[in-house]
Amino acid sequence: MPPIAQAPTTPILPPVEYKLVVEQANFTKFCETRSILTVNGMYPGPEIRVQRGQTVLIHVQNNGAYGITILLHGLKQPRNPWFDGPENVTQCLIQPRKNFTYEVITSNEIGTLWWHAHSDWSRATIHGAFVILPPPDELQDSPYQFPSHNLIFSTWFNQDVKEISDIIAQNGTNIAEAAGYTLNGFPGDQVTCNNVSEPTYNITVKHGETYLLRIVNAAMHEGQYFGITNHNLTVVARDAAYFKPFSSEYVLLAPGQTMDVTFVANQNQSQYYMRFRYFDDSAVSTNTQNTTGYLIYSDPVEDVVNTTFPFLPNATDNTTAFTFNTHLRSLYSRSDTELPRGDVKRVVLAVQVDYLNCTGLSDCPSTGRQAASFNRISFAYPNQTNILEAYSNGISGVYNTTYLLSPNEAMENATYAYHGTNVIELDYGDPVEIVFQAVDFGPAGGHPLHLHGYSFFQVGMNNGTFNSTTDPASYNLDDPPEMNIAVLLGSGWTAVRFFANNPGVWFMHCHFESHVSWGMATAFIVKDGPNEDHKMRARPKGMPSCGS
Ligand SMILES: [Cu+2]
């Protein structure tokens, strides 16, 4: 059993510090001026940049009108769940006029991750890139030597996102349709306001140079294809883990995923389209905006603009999405030591959108409401405390450690879910396999399923119902891709494996924001192991106090 995620041996750099001030700021997009919650007045927020293995101190000052939390998405935070971020799971809200410092430990992540708010729907506007560079001696042989640009794709609403999330969490109403999307804050030239194109993000390149794009899909609900006219892309990493590089006309990112892609500026010196186009295997209506940017050569020999869009697959082409998601392979296989290959503790989770029976529940309409669940448990956030606090202090009555139903039972009757704060307990070092099984074959579509505190290896993925006898025979146990978000397509199953070697409380949830609001979430409690470095760190001083 391997040790907890360690940074490869590199010189220890002193911690780097960032200040994030949460505050309202006005932005005009899609023909409306709105006051939105920002960090440092920016949309998207500032980049955080570190060297692998470095610790980051993030000082958050909340000058907003309501409480928030911040998550460093995809950082494993070894033994350090206290600074992971999800509201009422590992911490309580940072209330208005309060501050809190996150101590973020980077370990073996490389490339691009992101940070975002992890309370209500604040992440719609509070997010930014988190860049992890290799140490100098590795940099020169890595794709991170190239000049890079961050491409942050976001969803924009013409309503207050706090109001949207409060209504959805209470009434289970359907997703509020986005006003549109932005690339680094720009809607792009396919969006017009009073017949004038909205501003378009652009990057300038020199002919013959290689560039790195750090793509963050910060969208609330929308998977996205991305491509550049006439330029081939090479995928080198996703979710801060290297892949065997592969060349592709386009890439696909689920909400929450990050991807590092290189390309060579080797075309006629002109201007080309960068384009995002949504992928959606659900029947829920989606804003179909094409989101564009320009790639501009610095010394155009001809004053010609290439107006052709890059080819991107059809939005409802499930086969292409499946092919892309099953094509990925790890490069330096941490899987050599970190992938469980023998007996595993298998956790099958039926993943579905369903209904909540509101009998006996407050704040729930008597007619019932739409919900989402794992094994028909729709996750209820604790109220006046958080799960980590309850776990570390031995406070009972905050969460349950048993799931009411076996997956088979959960799949039998797909109508109603139960409301509960149910978590899954693991012993330190357990070799774990999670099989996500889509149950709502149909309109709900697929789910990007995200685990905090870990990355896992996707060993299998297919259509239909998982067969525990025959399907494991088809697993990739040689070079499965490592990730922190596994895609479950709407009609199948996805299997991931990891060793439970990071003690603490770790949230797991769908990265569609409405599905989390409806309860598609749970947490793993990984118990301490026998040695000192197998134990969760002690509770830091100054955690935000609970209760409003
Ligand atoms: Cu979902």
Q: Under DSSP, is residue 184 helix (H, G, I), strand (E, B) or coil?
A: coil
Same domain, 130 and 147: no
Same domain, 185 and 103: no
Examine residue 476 and state whether it is found in any structural domain, yes or no. Answer: yes
CA 460 to ligand 1 center in whole angstroms? 19
CA 277 to ligand 1 center in whole angstroms? 20
Examine residue 547 and state whether it is found in any structural domain, yes or no. Answer: no
Same domain, 158 and 235: yes
Q: Choose among 454, 432, 448: nearest CA to 485.
A: 448
CA 3 to ligand 1 center in whole angstroms? 32
CA 517 to ligand 1 center in whole angstroms? 10
Examine residue 93 and state whether it is found in any structural domain, yes or no. Answer: yes
- How many other C-beta atoms lie within 10 A of the C-beta of residue 307? 9
CA 167 to ligand 1 center in whole angstroms? 18
CA 446 to ligand 1 center in whole angstroms? 7
CA 510 to ligand 1 center in whole angstroms? 4
For residue 488, the number of C-alpha atoms closer than 13 Å in the C-beta half-sphere is: 33
CA 511 to ligand 1 center in whole angstroms? 6
CA 330 to ligand 1 center in whole angstroms? 25
What does residue 119 show for φ and ψ, rounded to 5 degrees?
-145, 140
Same domain, 185 and 260: yes
Residue 417 pLDDT: 84
CA 515 to ligand 1 center in whole angstroms? 5
What does residue 103 show for φ and ψ, rounded to 5 degrees?
-100, 110
The owner of tokens 């801060």 is: 240
CA 232 to ligand 1 center in whole angstroms? 31
CA 349 to ligand 1 center in whole angstroms? 13
Residue 444 pLDDT: 61
Same domain, 231 and 100: no
Residue 228: exposure state from Cβ atoms within 10 A (0-12, 13-18, ≥19): buried
CA 171 to ligand 1 center in whole angstroms? 17
CA 139 to ligand 1 center in whole angstroms? 37
CA 53 to ligand 1 center in whole angstroms? 32
Same domain, 248 and 366: no
User: Which run of H or of E encompasses 517?
Assistant: helix 513-518
The answer to whether 134 and 144 have CB atoms below 8 angstroms apart is: yes
CA 118 to ligand 1 center in whole angstroms? 16
Examine residue 545 and state whether it is found in any structural domain, yes or no. Answer: no
Q: Work out whether the CA dihedral 295, 127, 483, 414 comes out positive or negative.
A: negative
Give me 412's structure tokens.
Answer: 């039998």
Same domain, 260 and 343: no
β-sheet bridge partners, residue 170: none
Same domain, 279 and 369: no
The answer to whether 350 and 413 have CB atoms below 8 angstroms apart is: no
CA 80 to ligand 1 center in whole angstroms? 27
CA 284 to ligand 1 center in whole angstroms? 12
Residue 2 pLDDT: 55
Q: In which domain, by residue range, is 44 found?
A: 1-135
CA 412 to ligand 1 center in whole angstroms? 20
The answer to whether 104 and 75 have CB atoms below 8 angstroms apart is: yes
Examine residue 513 and state whether it is found in any structural domain, yes or no. Answer: yes
Same domain, 307 and 390: no
Number of domains in the chain: 3
CB contact set of 74 (below 8 Å; sequence gap of 6+):
109, 113, 114, 130, 239, 240, 258, 455, 484
Q: What is the mean pLDDT of each run of 10 residues along the chain (548 residues)?
A: 58 89 97 96 98 96 96 96 96 96 95 96 96 93 97 95 85 80 97 95 97 97 95 97 95 97 95 93 77 92 85 90 91 78 93 83 76 91 93 95 71 75 96 92 78 97 93 95 93 94 97 92 97 95 86
Q: Choose among 436, 434, 433: nearest CA to 411.
A: 436
CA 352 to ligand 1 center in whole angstroms? 8
CA 66 to ligand 1 center in whole angstroms? 26
CA 57 to ligand 1 center in whole angstroms? 32
CA 71 to ligand 1 center in whole angstroms? 19
CA 125 to ligand 1 center in whole angstroms? 20
Examine residue 542 and state whether it is found in any structural domain, yes or no. Answer: no
CA 385 to ligand 1 center in whole angstroms? 25
Pairing mode, strands 201-205 and 291-297: parallel
CA 370 to ligand 1 center in whole angstroms? 13
* Final residue of a structural domain among 135, 162, 177: 135
CA 520 to ligand 1 center in whole angstroms? 6
The DSSP output letter for 400 is: B
Q: How far apart, in whole angstroms, are the C-alpha atoms of residue 438 and residue 415? A: 14
CA 425 to ligand 1 center in whole angstroms? 22
CB contact set of 54 (below 8 Å; sequence gap of 6+):
13, 15, 16, 106
Same domain, 314 and 165: yes
Residue 359 pLDDT: 76
CA 121 to ligand 1 center in whole angstroms? 15
CA 519 to ligand 1 center in whole angstroms? 9
β-sheet bridge partners, residue 416: 355
Residue 392 pLDDT: 96
CATH of the domain at 34: 2.60.40.420
CA 154 to ligand 1 center in whole angstroms? 18
Q: How far apart, in whole angstroms, are the C-alpha atoms of residue 189 and residue 180? A: 12
Examine residue 43 and state whether it is found in any structural domain, yes or no. Answer: yes
* Final residue of a structural domain among 89, 110, 135: 135
Residue 66: exposure state from Cβ atoms within 10 A (0-12, 13-18, ≥19): middle
CA 509 to ligand 1 center in whole angstroms? 8
CA 518 to ligand 1 center in whole angstroms? 9
Examine residue 541 and state whether it is found in any structural domain, yes or no. Answer: no
CA 372 to ligand 1 center in whole angstroms? 8
CA 387 to ligand 1 center in whole angstroms? 22
Same domain, 256 and 342: no
Ion ligand 1, residue ranges at CB < 5 A: 447, 510, 512, 515, 520
* Final residue of a structural domain among 101, 117, 135: 135
Beta strands in 63-190 (DSSP E): 70-73, 99-105, 111-117, 127-133, 148-156, 180-183
Vertex 345 angle, CA 107 and 71, to 5° = 35
Same domain, 79 and 158: no
Q: How far apart, in whole angstroms, are the C-alpha atoms of residue 354 and residue 371? A: 5
